[in-house]
Amino acid sequence: MDGGALYFPVATVFLAVTAGLADQLSVASYAMLLLIATLGSAGAAPVPSAGLVLIVTAYNTVFSASGIPPTFSFLLAVDWLLDRLRTTLNVTGDAAVARLVAHYEAAEAASARERRARCGRELGGMEAGRIGGGGAGSGGGPLAPARDQEARSDLES
Residue 102 resides in a domain:
no
pLDDT value at 133 more than 70: no
Mean pLDDT for the chain overall: 81
Residue 112 resides in a domain:
no
At residue 147 the predicted structure's pLDDT band, cuts being 50, 70 and 90, is low
Residue 114 resides in a domain:
no
Q: Name, in order, each residue with C-beta under 8 angstroms of 99's C-beta and a sequence gap of 6 or more.
A: none
DSSP 75: H
User: For the purposes of burial, counting CB atoms within 10 Å of the CB of 111, is it exposed (0-12), middle (13-18) or buried (19 or more)?
Assistant: exposed
Of 101, 94, 95, 99, the closest CA to residue 2 belongs to: 94
Residue 105 resides in a domain:
no
Instruction: Specify the pLDDT at position 87.
Output: 87
Residue 124 resides in a domain:
no
Residue 34 resides in a domain:
yes
Of 13, 34, 8, the closest CA to residue 23 belongs to: 13
pLDDT value at 136 more than 60: no
- 69 neighbors 29 (Cβ within 8 angstroms): no
pLDDT digits 0-9 by tens, 55-103? 999 999 999 888 899 899 999 999 999 889 988 998 999 999 999 999 9
pLDDT digits 0-9 by tens, 1-59? 678 888 899 999 999 999 999 888 899 999 999 999 888 888 877 787 888 888 999 99
Residue 153 resides in a domain:
no
- Tell me how many domains the chain contains: 1
Residue 108 resides in a domain:
no
At residue 113 the predicted structure's pLDDT band, cuts being 50, 70 and 90, is confident
What pTM does this model have?
0.63
Domain range enclosing 19: 2-96
